[in-house]
Amino acid sequence: MKLRRLIALISVMALLAAACGGGTAASSQKEVIIGLQLEPPTLDLTASPAAGIPQVLLYNVYEGLVKLDEAGAIQPLLAESWELNDDGTEYTFSLVEAQFHNGDPFTADDVVFSINNVIGEGSEHPFKETLASIESVEAVDERTVKITLSAFSANLLFFLTQGQGVILNQNAIADIATNPDGTGPFMFDNQVPGDSITLVANTDYWGTAAPLEQVTYRYINDPNALNNAMLAGDIDILAGVSAPELLESFQDNSDFDVYTGLTNGEVTLAINGANAPLDDLRVRQAINTAIDSQAIIDGAYFGYGTQIGSHTTPLDPYYIDLTDVYPYDPDEARNLLAEAGVEDLTLRLLLPPVSYATRGGEIVASQLEDVGINVEISNVEWGVWLEDVFNGDNYDLSIVAHVEPRDIGQYGNPDYYWAYDNPEVAAMLKEADAEPDEGARNDIYGNIQREITADAANAWLFLLPSLSVTKAGISGYIANAPGLSLDITQLAFNP
């Protein structure tokens, strides 16, 4: 009997010891702070193309019928399954049972409303054209939706994984700029403009609950200050390192894990083709041949990044290498300018507040000035860039990473901010999307890449890498960025 009492006492003492600190190694932290550089200008996904919005909200707060995984494969989400008819023009989706964060039930009517909100007449959704193949959407019953297409669309499901595919609560649509209401595993809690956005766990989530209870996105525009905040322990994850030379501070340090992944970010020297003399092919070709993109990678991004020759990336199934079309040749650039009769040319280069643009812009300006093109640099805030460049076309040149996946379709839109107007390319884009055979489809996309490159529609500087740092003990962080979401649904922290 005494032996049993002794064993019981030892067991109780062991449990008390674990509860009082003996189990520290196995404990988990339920809150994480993520450091980012670019704050979203709004939380309304339907009103702005800014990548910072889906970075925070997509898959975390808002969900779509389908989702893109780390490898770029399409997976079920609010649609537990779907069927496609024989000619590829009718999708029938079976929906999960879920509810919005405000308690409203999720039904097929919400899917109908959300898709019509993108494609409907008068819609100003920034990615409306990506769902242009949808002819109609209807609720068959509360848990079934049918989407009818005008023709087969190879890209439809892919685009439904992105921001234009999120399902909105039609009863909360008026407040989505400041209070987004979705079905995801996290709920919007609060925003401190100029500082942070906080999400909290959705305790009534329909699917598998997220490991974390709270995630705060802290916005620090200066890359050095962002780096110092990580070193000081003020943030737990540095997502999207924009000053790659600072990675040395974290490498070979057991307190941190460094991630290098792929993105869809084509860092592009955008050329406003509506402005003379940029409407002259020879001038655009001169700009392309005047640029040494490897020097930009080395000088602006510390050697991180990959040269690309058109508006695609190795993550795209139809990518072809066109980096040899415009080899660095200052003499050829001068000759092309002379053929075009261009002298004393001055171009306005507007740069958003990200390091690849501000640093890269200085190098681009120097390279263009070397062939006789004067460059006036203006460094502007993100909101000004959206107003003057993206919406206002009030620029000659700009530098930005086009991180939206498979956005080559923008070259079929003459109203897009670089004003590229080639009816042949627009027709090929429609033909490619309607081609059910993958091999034939990729061949068409290859020809599109060759055409926009031959037209020197823009100058493509390099592929933006995904560079991140986390504190040791964080798991579930996704290194690659095949889409726009910074997916936190699997994040856990066991320090």
pLDDT score at 481: 84
Query: pLDDT digit of tens for each residue in the chain (495 aa)?
Result: 333 333 333 333 333 333 444 333 446 799 999 999 889 999 999 999 888 999 999 999 999 999 998 888 899 999 999 999 999 999 999 999 999 999 999 999 999 999 999 999 999 998 998 999 999 999 999 999 999 999 999 999 999 999 999 999 999 999 999 999 999 999 999 999 999 999 999 999 999 999 999 999 999 988 889 999 999 999 999 998 878 888 988 998 999 999 998 888 999 999 999 999 999 999 999 999 999 999 999 999 999 999 999 999 988 999 999 999 999 999 999 999 999 999 999 999 999 998 899 999 999 999 999 999 999 999 999 889 999 999 999 999 999 999 888 999 999 999 999 999 999 999 999 999 999 999 999 999 999 999 999 999 999 999 999 999 999 999 999 988 888 999 999 999 998
Phi then psi dihedrals of residue 90, to 5 deg: -145, 115
Domains of the chain: 31-36+184-262+466-493 (3.40.190.10), 66-170 (3.90.76.10), 266-463 (3.10.105.10)
pTM to 2 decimal places: 0.82
pLDDT score at 24: 38
Query: Other C-beta atoms within 10 Å of 87: how many?
Result: 10
pLDDT score at 27: 60
pLDDT score at 19: 40
pLDDT score at 25: 40
